[in-house]
Copies of this chain bind each other. A is one copy, B any other.
Amino acid sequence: MNRFVLDKESILQAAENAIRRYGPCKTNLTDIAKALSVSHAAIYRYYADKADLLEAVTERWLARTFRSLDPIMRENARPEEKLRHYLQELCRTKRACAATDPEMFENYAVLSEGSSRALKEHLHHILNQMESIIQQGIHSKAFIDQDPRQLAISVFIATSRFHHPAFASEWQNPDIENRLDAVLNLILSGMEIRN
């Protein structure tokens, strides 16, 4: 018998499968429960409600998907190159998700319209990492001496077109990577101390 122990993790996996199969809009608790061979009510023992479950699914997905940013933090490159790599990788990852994992990306896009705790935390995490790189750059006299948090926010905003899901339809343009590089050149040379 393929009898699971029903737990948070198996519910998360079933939910993710359902989202991939039916898309985020058509996914319902009944189908998720059916896949686990339990009644839908059983899920309420583990998650307060549907929104809570979807938050958890997205949180797990975000952590997995943007792990590729962590090695960049450990790179031994000049801060300006590190920040460039970081944003290139952030945007590349978003593009890759939109193209190869469209349902999970849509799930994320839908959630990003509302106000989700998981997404706020993810944004904070991204800004923290950028701030840390900028901090290094300020210490090594590579970047102008301004509030690194504010700089991180400005850089994040200025590159929105390349990582915000509202613009996902533009990301198919083969020129998109060049466009990002052009914007990064402008921003980075605005931050650098020239000599």
Which residues of chain B are within 8 angstroms of A151 by Cβ–Cβ distance?
186
Secondary structure dominating the interface of A? helix
| B183 contacts A186, C-beta separation under 8 Å | no
> For the complex, what is the distance from the CA of A184 to the CA of B167, rounded to whole Å?
21
| B179 contacts A186, C-beta separation under 8 Å | no
Which residues of chain B are within 8 angstroms of A189 by Cβ–Cβ distance?
190
Residue of B whose beta carbon sits closest to that of A170: B157
Give min CB distance, A98 to chain B, whole Å: 15
Taken residue by residue from 167 to 195, chain A's Cβ proximity to chain B (1 for < 8 Å, 0 otherwise) reads as 10000000000010011011111110010
Interchain CB contact (< 8 A) of A187 among B158, B164, B166:
B158
Q: Please tell me how many copies of the chain the complex holds.
A: 2
> For the complex, what is the distance from the CA of A85 to the CA of B173, rounded to whole Å?
31
> For the complex, what is the distance from the CA of A191 to the CA of B190, rounded to whole Å?
7
> For the complex, what is the distance from the CA of A191 to the CA of B192, rounded to whole Å?
12
Give min CB distance, A162 to chain B, whole Å: 8
Using a CB-CB cutoff of 8 Å, which residues 48-66 of chain A contact chain B?
Answer: none
Taken residue by residue from 138 to 170, chain A's Cβ proximity to chain B (1 for < 8 Å, 0 otherwise) reads as 000000000000110111011111001011000
Which residues of chain B are within 8 angstroms of A161 by Cβ–Cβ distance?
157-158, 160
Task: Indicate whether A186 sits within 8 Å of B190 (C-beta atoms), given known contacts A159-B158, A166-B166.
Answer: yes
> For the complex, what is the distance from the CA of A155 to the CA of B194, rounded to whole Å?
21
> For the complex, what is the distance from the CA of A153 to the CA of B191, rounded to whole Å?
20
Can you list 17 pairs linking A and B with CB atoms under 8 Å apart?
A151-B186, A154-B179, A154-B182, A154-B183, A154-B185, A154-B186, A155-B186, A157-B161, A158-B161, A160-B167, A186-B186, A186-B187, A186-B190, A187-B187, A189-B190, A190-B190, A190-B191
